[in-house]
A and B are shown apart, each in its own frame.
Chain A
Amino acid sequence: MRKLLLLALVVLVGFAFIGRLYYLQVYDSASYNPLNDSAVRKVFTYPKRGYVYDRNGELLVANQPSYDVMVIPREVEEFDISEFCALLKITEEQYHKTLDRARAYSPRLPYVFLSNLSKEDYAFLQEKMRKYDGFYIQKRSIRTYRKTIGANVLGDIGEVNQAIINKDPYYSKGDLIGKQGVEKTYEKILRGTKGIKFIQKDRFNRDLGPFKNGEHDTIAKPGKDITITIDSKLQEYGELLMTNKRGGIIAIEPSSGEILAMVSGPTYNPNLLVGRERSKNFNKLYNDSLAQPLFDRGLQAMYPPGSPFKTINALIGLQEGVVTPQDKFRCNLGFNYGNRKMGCHVHRSPADMNLGIYESCNAYFANVYLKIMNKYDSPAKSMDVWSNHVKSFGLGNYLGNDLSVGQPGKIPTANTYNRAHGEGRWYPTFTLSNAIGQGEVLATPIQLANMAAAIGNRGYYYTPHIIKEIQDDTIPSKYTTPNYTSIDEKYFEPVVQGMFDVYNKGTADMVQIPGIEICGKTGTAENFAIIDSVKTQLTDHSIFVAFAPKDNPKIAIAVFIENGYFGSRFAGKMASLMIEKYLKNEITRTDLENFVLRYSLEHEYKKPFSGEPFGINRETILDPISDEEFEALQRKKRRIDSK
């Protein structure tokens, strides 16, 4: 017994130690990676970020050097602080505050003392910096936006946040990353791959030399240039037309799905989000809760599409065989059902499909819609059939495009009404508003432009996209394979003819462009705001959807102007001008252009905040801008033309 005590302890300790070693070395440790080794310093070399060109090869986004004053607090020696501050144009108070912050971060590590010196300051300071121990100038590369357009398209880059660092180990603190637009969606292609140099350090953070003779080191791979589908001239023109208005314009090339223009108003100069002022400017834009310049109205604004949606109902009626183009329906200034009535305006009656479309007759489409809804045994079945047809036009869901933001819109299904009323407890008349694009239907301008493209193509569309070419690479195949709608090609002709007659003799006859066969459809969307907790109706949104030319269309467009009143008042004119600009590169209808440039809608946007009663729609007036402002817009316009 006495012999065994020490022996037992020795064995016990042996096992305990091996257990502890197992815990520390095997159980509790991940496989080795020098990236995670805190004893190895990682020095990154940043590659050139890829350039962005427009579809005509014009350079939109490039890089420019930026110079930061860096400080290593430990190495700062005594010198004339007031002289140094005068050189950097800072106060002594700022000097001490920043230096304290740098010291708190680490006395041994470089810290950005002053960022983004101008080129002139750099040239001037470079020579003098030598005098100030602990300070030096470091060169970095930042973005420059060559044209002041397309802020919502191109986006911006900014410092990566902690959430992304946690998710993606590629990024480390201080790295730049695309925050919006193309910079965000094509981040991986544009950024390239940064190079890493591993350096063995000691416990005082001093460098001891390359880690394992640099066998883990990698060289930076430069980012690839990309060409986007935007026509910068058309984009610039669209932004000009959008001046003093809020809304969105989306133009798509139907034969490819390429987005030609993507205007959101109000917009801002993308260079605001570059360099030292980025966060200040970003906050200003972000906090503008009235104009919401960061809200991309072309992609994110969901509204009832109104009349343009009627074309889809006509197509579904034909495809389901419940109506022929010749069938006529009566319109008594509207459509009566039960004890309710859906109103309409004065026009010839009865209406066939052609007249129904170009006069935008509500009664006609109420009849067609009810015929579709009554085709199958139950309203639910009919509703799902209808819903699937609508969705085949890219409505009611995300388009799956390469834009950094988007909204799905909304297309109801039988389930929508089952949930609202109970299964089997609703009737087609409950859903009649869908016939005229109101009710439960919501769509974004890009979805409407895509819908116009699908009609122009007579039954198919390419997923709208912004990427045209990637250097040494191909674009994803989903952008080059057509998506077919569930409507047969033969049913499109009467609808296209109807849309053509909208321009010829219908609701848009006053915005014709000589020499171009445009097919379009006007629309208005009622909208409301909560003012002092009262739901108040505001002036309708002006909507227009079009494609041109009639056969083999080159451009499909959706224009949406907040509180622009009826469809052809603003949206229709702007759509026509955009089409003419793109197809002919000149404007013959200068009367339309002058109208759009002359009249501002700002007074309309102020109404809900005025605190006074105000009139809408019929009672709204046209509010011209001053002659000087108008002259400035004209100059801008001439500058675009001259390029």
Chain B
Amino acid sequence: MIRENQRRFGFDWLTIIIYVLLVGFGYINIMSASHNGEITNYFDMSQPYGKQLIFMGLSIVLIILTLSVEAKFYERFASIIYIVAILSLLGLFVFGKDVNGARSWYGIGSMTIQPSEFAKFATALAVAKYISDIQTNLKTIKDQLKVAAIIILPALLILLQNDAGSTLVYASFFFVFYREGLQQVYIIIGFSLVVLAVLALKFGLTATGLIAALIIFGLFFFRRKKRASILQPILILIVSLVFAFGVKLFYNNVLKPHQQNRISLWLRLEKDPAKLERMKKAEAYNLIQSEEAIGAGGFWGKGFMEGTRTTGKFVPEQHTDYIFSTVGEEWGFLGSASVVVLFTLLIIRILYLSEQQKSQFSRVYGYGLASILFVHFTINVGMVMGLIPTVGIPLPFFSYGGSGLWAFTILLFIFIKLDSNKINEW
């Protein structure tokens, strides 16, 4: 760890080094995933690798801008930034451009901008601002509802634009609230609900009811205090069953067929071999190709631009959401495990720095940043390796795309700026 007195300009250089490594390695893999034969012109603007180079160049400008702004500015203008972000999301309904069925982009000339990416740091700022307010107490229902509203508003707008993956990211603020005083019972409830949902889908309602009853009454009789009413566990059981039923209903009637199939593949619900065969060519195609590409890498990998599955473009969307499969094939276990380690180190470093912050605003913001990165990283890499159902979100700093790179860069460097300023707090 770099000591305080070794910091130049007060910036945390370890974080910056990891950032540069991730972006640089990401660019190398985007080249592999998107080239067609020899690369003759690295600045070929018709190719993803050419564009990404421009995006990276612009990121440097953004970094300089972000770092040169007075640290206090972010706290002071958090609400304004948030409002601008919400407006930009609303504007999509009028001026937005449809890409792959999602209305998430503004088209500016040949470039596209995705405001939902920028809404992430705006929301993080707003949450930090609200929680760090001296009058806010997260233990009260009123403040809990207010802070929930801050994240639900952008999440809802993004969901309406048909970008379910990005919506899920807003759940990451749950970690922030817990850190800042949200009662433990919410964590228990949240965890229970996830388990209930999975049980209901995998084993059906009867089995889920039986398992739930066993656990609830078991806990009730073993941990009985004073003269607790038997009504309490019965009530909990009924609520659980209603929830499980709701999950089933939601799965069958609300989710779109492709979303159903993704979950069904993950939980291995489909038993009909003919249908499975069909899924292999549709929903599961990406997953199978991506797992195979990763597996083909072996320990050492096939080397830069040597991956046969990458070169043959067997994995669709490989330069964006599935970029990690390129790492897997061309850089092997060595390369991909290094990426996992880098991300883990980065998040741990941010958590560590957040806990060091004197101002609550900086701490909450840092925690928000770490949570967002964590959720993105877990969902994306987990999906590419077939550990969790397919959810289309990019790998931060790594995936191809201007909006994503810029938004994550700003998200990270605001924190680096806030962190560099902590000595001046006093």
Q: Tell me the A residues contacting B by CB distance below 8 Å.
A: 2-3, 5-7, 9-11, 13-14, 16-18, 20-22, 24-26, 28-29, 31-32, 34, 37, 39-40, 200-203, 208-209, 211-212
Contacts and interface: CB of A to CB of B under 8 A. Distances in A.
A3 B355 contact: yes
A25 B302 contact: no
Which of B296, B312, B382 has the most chain A CB atoms closer than 10 A to its own CB?
A: B312
Given A10-B370, A200-B311, 9 more contacts: A2-B178, A3-B355, A11-B344, A14-B341, A14-B344, A21-B333, A25-B333, A26-B333, A202-B313
Nearest to B378: A13
B81 interface: no
B344 to A, nearest CB: 4
B314 interface: yes
B381 interface: yes
Contacts of B370: 6, 10
Interface in B325-361: 328, 332-333, 336-337, 340-341, 343-344, 347-348, 351, 355
B374 A6 contact: yes
Given A5-B178, A13-B378, A212 B314 contact: no
B374 A13 contact: yes
Most chain B beta-carbon contacts within 10 A, residue among A2, A9, A200, A209: A2
10 contacts: A2-B181, A6-B371, A10-B351, A14-B340, A17-B387, A21-B385, A25-B332, A28-B295, A39-B311, A200-B308
Contacts of A32: 296, 298, 302
Chain A interface mostly:
helix
- Give the interface size bracket for B toward A: 35 or more
Nearest to A37: B308
A521 B8 CA distance: 109
Interface of B: 37, 175, 178-179, 181, 187, 289, 291, 294-299, 302, 306, 308-309, 311-314, 316, 328, 332-333, 336-337, 340-341, 343-344, 347-348, 351, 355, 367, 370-371, 374, 377-378, 381-382, 385, 387
A492 B214 CA distance: 94
B298 A25 contact: yes
B357 to A, nearest CB: 12
Contacts of B308: 34, 37, 39-40, 200, 211
A34 to B, nearest CB: 8
A16 to B, nearest CB: 7
A11 B337 CA distance: 13
Contacts of B181: 2
A21 B312 contact: no
A447 to B, nearest CB: 54
A37 to B, nearest CB: 5
A39 B37 CA distance: 15
Contact of A203 (B179, B314, B343): B314
Contacts of B187: 5
Given A25-B298, A37-B296, A9 B336 contact: no
A293 B337 CA distance: 65
Nearest to A209: B37
Contacts of A28: 295
B299 A25 contact: yes
A2 B187 CA distance: 11
B312 A26 contact: no
A573 B94 CA distance: 107
A150 B312 CA distance: 51
A493 to B, nearest CB: 72
B297 A25 contact: yes
A203 B178 contact: no
Contacts of A34: 308
Contact of B298 (A16, A31, A40, A208): A31
A7 B351 contact: yes
